[in-house]
Amino acid sequence: MSATHQATHSSASHDAHGAHDTHAHPSTRTYINIFGVLFLVTAAEVVAAQALPLVGLASLVVPSLLIMAVVKGAMIMMYYMHLKSDSAWFTVPMAFGLILAAGMLISMIGLFIGSPRVACTPELGKGCVAAAAK
């Protein structure tokens, strides 16, 4: 490689690195605040899972946990994966994947709620699901 080519390559890579450094990165204080919020949401998840059934609101456990999980996931993607300060072109594939994953989760929940199962016992044999539907 010639000296001119090395100087040009070195300068170009330095400029590209310098352009990356001009993005506004979150401060240490921001990361500590995000950690605090994630900790509080996790504590709220534990409380929801333990307390809601005790007060007769067991049907709200799963929806509340799903909402809190989405909030935590969004915060992690925005701050720890730097999507908040990066180009929207990086956010679009992440959002698309999140939508696909949420759709798959909702579909699976629907499948299991829509077709109740019974425990297979020797009396029912291989037709346990068919026997429960009769």
One domain, residues 32 and 78: yes
Q: How many CB atoms lie within 10 A of CB 67?
A: 13
In sequence order, what DSSP letters do the residues of 51-92 get, joined into one string? HTTTTT-GGGHHHHHHHHHHHHHHHIIIIIT-TTTS-HHHHH
One domain, residues 61 and 107: no
One domain, residues 2 and 58: yes
One domain, residues 26 and 74: yes
> What is the count of structural domains for the chain?
2
One domain, residues 93 and 64: no
One domain, residues 56 and 95: no
One domain, residues 74 and 13: yes
The residue to which tokens 């908040």 are assigned? 84
What is the pLDDT tens value at each position of the chain, 134 positions in all? Answer: 555 555 445 444 444 444 455 556 778 898 899 999 999 999 999 999 999 999 999 888 988 998 899 889 888 888 777 777 777 777 778 778 878 988 898 888 888 777 766 666 666 666 565 444 44
One domain, residues 77 and 109: no
Domain residues for 63?
1-86
One domain, residues 96 and 80: no
